[in-house]
């Protein structure tokens, strides 16, 4: 070697060592306090980054929540069909403390038969302040079955939410005892025993009798002894649903006595066999009854239209929901339903398999059109397998954005399909004013940089700060908990319906909120996404609106009237007969602060019934203590309706119980918060006089 060559090597070595030392020193030397910015505590994110104002921002707080759940997919290397499709999750308030709890499903060892009870579904109680506690054992919901789908609902209308778990095996119904514990009532409810490949679950009231019925999707007819080993390019892979026979969904009718009867055949559900995955119940045609959507993997989707009496006809093809614009069956997985374009009609977003576009079904007055490409909804997800999905207004701009969970089935997929991998990042699509969606995942903070193979997804306001957080179940590993740290001064409201005449969860009720020149609609769904449950409490972003002009609640009350409408005009200062209450921005449950009441008023006028007598009551600006009943007979509507009670519950939420005719009252629970300004001031500035509180056709 020449001298020049040696000198060159030495020089390079010196440079490399020097650079390494410099980097090491830079990493190890702590910054002086004076150098560090001091963000306000409520804006400081775990990653240390401060989100730019207005930017949707999520931080991954999984490591600090004390959630130690690890999903088990039961894999043994044999690649059984059900291994990669587990599982969904449920976000619901099981103990009624106002904080959303989390129930994770898990797979289980498939062969030999499950013996290790340590692998079970897990329930985590929300302790507040982003701390969760494993209460599986004390709650008694540690089902060791191979979990696939789940949904929560108060099926016995006793005021607490029960759980239905769909397994690869037999389904499990947990009745909430109301004391933080559950009882497995599967057998006495008539559910126990049937072995099937469970999938999505939806609770809904098919015939308007006030009891929640059940739709259980079935993935396929599969048993372990029917397993087909498959290979691609010499690599073992999972068989697909078309390798096995399809199966119809199951419709269980709530008899009202705590038991269920299988009415699949007589109600028309059994007429169509498919490869069911995600399901959702929604009144897509606004005819006042609950219709059913069943997604089929590699088969046309089903839309079961309700005839108003609880009988169904499959109309997916004619209504444009069976296929995307391509007219080919796709690997349909998860589904969510929302009015993304604020036209008053519920649209659906469907996730699909790898190398397939997801499908945004835009609802045009009861007919669906594939708006995926015009809206750019999820086109960048094309290479990946998509699972859980949900609409939510993450930044309160009045438009619902989209979250999509992704990840392939096969760990080795990169060996034969280089366009994707087993673990990928999830995606967040922002709904733009132009009506198009755009992928903003890269700008949403560290939460969207998590790379896992995700499945079920749940969205709700876990810390009651008014914005929507995200929980993602990742297969064969720990879940991801994402805290919404969007810095926004935009307003929001959350509405939880509590039915008394109809089903207590308000399933199927449609709520509209008019504010700032925009009217948004939402519907209460029990069971959605990828075989999951979330979002019972409806969330609305209000932009900068200082006043909610109107809230309408359209209930599924067929016994009374098809178009029963509870309409609340909030700002009208005309004939005030009651008051709705709004809070300022001081709701902090962890401080046990009683929110101060600025203004609460309800006004009522029945446009169709001149006999409606308006009573006038003014509470004033005095704070109301939690649990205090304001006025039992706040206003009367004679035979039209009756306000039974207006009260503040222990979480600071307003509860208005309104009765319709001779029926039991229904609760309307409102909760709101503004970050700036006073509702009282803003409301008082308005001087419009028009009918406000209306109950029609009752």
Binding residues for another protein, rule: CB under 8 A, are 230-235, 240, 242-243, 298-300, 317-318, 320, 323, 325-327, 329, 355, 357, 367, 369, 373-374, 376, 379-383, 414-419, 436
Q: Which helix (H) or strand (E) holds 22?
A: helix 3-28
Using the minimum distance from each CB to another protein, give the nearer residue, 111 or 416.
416
Q: Minimum distance between the CB of residue 508 and another protein, rounded to whole angstroms?
A: 27
Tokens of 52: 């730019």
Rounded Cα distance, 170 and 534, in Å: 23
Residue 323: partners with Cβ closer than 8 Å, 6 or more residues away: 300, 301, 317, 329, 330
Using the minimum distance from each CB to another protein, give the nearer residue, 374 or 623.
374
Using the minimum distance from each CB to another protein, give the nearer residue, 78 or 415.
415
What are residue 448's phi and psi, to 5 degrees? -90, 5
Tokens of 662: 């001779």
DSSP-assigned letters across all residues of 659-682: EETTSPEEEEEEEEE-SSS-HHHH
Rounded Cα distance, 383 and 584, in Å: 45
What are residue 252's phi and psi, to 5 degrees? -110, 125
Burial level of 12, CB count in 10 A (0-12/13-18/19+)? exposed
Nearest to 203 by CA among 264, 156, 152, 247: 152
Using the minimum distance from each CB to another protein, give the nearer residue, 36 or 419.
419
Q: Minimum distance between the CB of residue 308 and another protein, rounded to whole angstroms?
A: 22
Q: Minimum distance between the CB of residue 380 and another protein, rounded to whole angstroms?
A: 5
Using the minimum distance from each CB to another protein, give the nearer residue, 278 or 320.
320
Using the minimum distance from each CB to another protein, give the nearer residue, 436 or 613.
436
Using the minimum distance from each CB to another protein, give the nearer residue, 192 or 230.
230
Buried b (16+ CB within 10 A) or exposed e, 374-398: ebbbbeebebbbbbbbbbbbbbbbb
Question: Which region, left, alpha or beta, applies to residue 380 given φ > 0 means left and ψ of -120 to 50 means alpha?
Answer: alpha
Q: Minimum distance between the CB of residue 414 and another protein, rounded to whole angstroms?
A: 6
Q: Cα–chain-centroid distance for residue 662?
A: 34
Going from the C-alpha of 5 to that of each of 8, 10, 260, the distances in angstroms are 5, 9, 85
Using the minimum distance from each CB to another protein, give the nearer residue, 361 or 521.
361
Using the minimum distance from each CB to another protein, give the nearer residue, 195 or 416.
416
Nearest to 54 by CA among 486, 516, 403: 486
Using the minimum distance from each CB to another protein, give the nearer residue, 357 or 565.
357
DSSP helix/strand/coil, 171: coil
Q: Minimum distance between the CB of residue 561 and another protein, rounded to whole angstroms?
A: 30
Rounded Cα distance, 398 and 338, in Å: 12
Burial level of 195, CB count in 10 A (0-12/13-18/19+)? exposed
Q: Minimum distance between the CB of residue 472 and another protein, rounded to whole angstroms?
A: 21
Using the minimum distance from each CB to another protein, give the nearer residue, 311 or 379.
379
Q: Minimum distance between the CB of residue 350 and another protein, rounded to whole angstroms?
A: 17
Using the minimum distance from each CB to another protein, give the nearer residue, 36 or 231.
231
Q: Minimum distance between the CB of residue 292 and another protein, rounded to whole angstroms?
A: 19
What are residue 10's phi and psi, to 5 degrees? -60, -45
Q: Cα–chain-centroid distance for residue 233?
A: 39
Rounded Cα distance, 650 and 667, in Å: 15
Residue 340: partners with Cβ closer than 8 Å, 6 or more residues away: 347, 349, 360, 391, 399, 400, 402, 431
């Amino acid at each position: 070697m020449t001298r020049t060559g040696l000198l060159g090597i030495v020089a390079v070595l010196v440079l490399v060592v020097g650079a390494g030392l410099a980097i090491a020193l830079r990493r190890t030397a702590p910054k002086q306090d004076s150098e560090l910015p001091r963000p306000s505590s409520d804006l400081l994110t775990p990653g240390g980054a401060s989100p730019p104002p207005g930017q949707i921002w999520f931080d991954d707080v999984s490591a600090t929540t004390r959630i130690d759940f690890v999903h088990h997919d039961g894999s043994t290397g044999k690649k059984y069909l059900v291994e990669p499709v587990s599982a969904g999750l449920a976000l619901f308030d099981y103990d009624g403390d106002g904080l959303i709890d989390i129930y994770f499903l898990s797979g289980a060892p498939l062969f030999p038969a499950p013996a290790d009870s340590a692998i079970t579904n897990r329930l985590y109680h929300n302790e507040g302040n982003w701390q969760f506690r494993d209460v599986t054992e004390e709650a008694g919901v540690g089902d060791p079955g191979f979990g696939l789908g789940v949904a929560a609902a108060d099926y016995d209308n006793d005021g607490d939410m029960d759980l239905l778990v769909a397994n690869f095996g037999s389904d499990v119904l947990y009745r909430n005892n109301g004391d933080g514990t559950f009882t497995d009532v599967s057998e006495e409810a008539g559910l126990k025993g049937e072995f099937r490949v469970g999938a999505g679950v939806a609770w809904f009231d098919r015939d308007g009798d006030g009891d929640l019925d059940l739709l259980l999707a079935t993935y396929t007819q599969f048993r372990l002894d029917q397993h087909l080993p498959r290979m691609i390019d010499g690599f073992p892979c999972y068989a697909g649903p078309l390798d096995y026979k399809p199966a119809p969904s199951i419709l269980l009718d709530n008899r009202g006595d705590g038991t269920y009867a299988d009415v699949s055949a007589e109600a028309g559900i059994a007429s169509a066999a498919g490869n069911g995955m995600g399901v959702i119940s929604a009144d897509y045609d606004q005819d006042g009854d609950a219709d059913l959507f069943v997604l089929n993997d590699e088969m046309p989707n089903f839309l079961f239209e309700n005839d108003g009496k609880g009988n169904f006809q499959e109309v997916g093809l004619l209504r444009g929901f069976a296929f995307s614009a391509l007219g080919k069956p796709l690997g349909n997985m998860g589904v969510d339903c929302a009015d993304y374009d604020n036209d008053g009609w519920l649209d659906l977003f469907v996730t699909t398999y790898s190398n397939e576009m997801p499908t945004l079904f835009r609802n045009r007055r009861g007919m669906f059109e594939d708006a995926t490409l015009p809206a750019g909804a999820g086109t960048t997800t094309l290479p990946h397998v998509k699972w859980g999905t949900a609409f939510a207004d993450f930044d309160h701009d009045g438009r619902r954005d989209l979250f999509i969970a992704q990840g392939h089935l096969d760990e080795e997929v990169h060996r034969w399909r280089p366009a994707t991998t087993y673990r990928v990042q999830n995606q967040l699509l922002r709904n733009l004013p132009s009506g198009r969606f755009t992928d903003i995942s890269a700008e949403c903070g560290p939460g969207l940089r998590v790379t896992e193979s995700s499945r079920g997804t749940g969205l709700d306001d876990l810390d009651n700060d008014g914005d929507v957080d995200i929980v993602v179940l990742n297969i064969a590993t720990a879940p991801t908990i994402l805290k919404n740290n969007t810095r926004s001064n935009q307003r929001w409201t959350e509405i939880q319906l509590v039915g008394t005449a109809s089903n207590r969860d308000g399933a199927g009720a449609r709520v509209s909120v008019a504010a700032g020149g925009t009217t948004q609609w939402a519907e209460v769904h029990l069971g959605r996404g990828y075989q999951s449950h979330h979002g019972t409490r409806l969330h609305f972003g209000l932009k900068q609106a200082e006043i909610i002009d109107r809230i309408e609640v359209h209930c599924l009350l067929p016994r009374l009237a098809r178009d029963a409408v509870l309409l609340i005009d909030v700002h009208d200062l005309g004939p005030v007969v009651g008051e709705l209450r709004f809070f300022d921005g001081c709701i902090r449950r962890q401080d046990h602060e009683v929110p101060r009441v600025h203004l609460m008023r309800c006004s009522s006028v029945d446009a169709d019934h001149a006999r409606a007598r308006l009573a006038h009551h003014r509470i004033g600006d005095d704070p109301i203590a939690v649990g205090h009943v304001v006025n039992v007979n706040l206003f009367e509507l004679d035979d039209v309706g009756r306000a039974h009670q207006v009260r503040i519950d222990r979480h600071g939420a307003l509860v208005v119980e309104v009765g319709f005719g001779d029926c039991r009252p229904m609760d309307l629970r409102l909760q709101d918060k503004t970050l700036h300004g006073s509702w009282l001031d803003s409301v008082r500035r308005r001087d419009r006089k028009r009918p406000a509180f209306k109950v029609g056709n009752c």
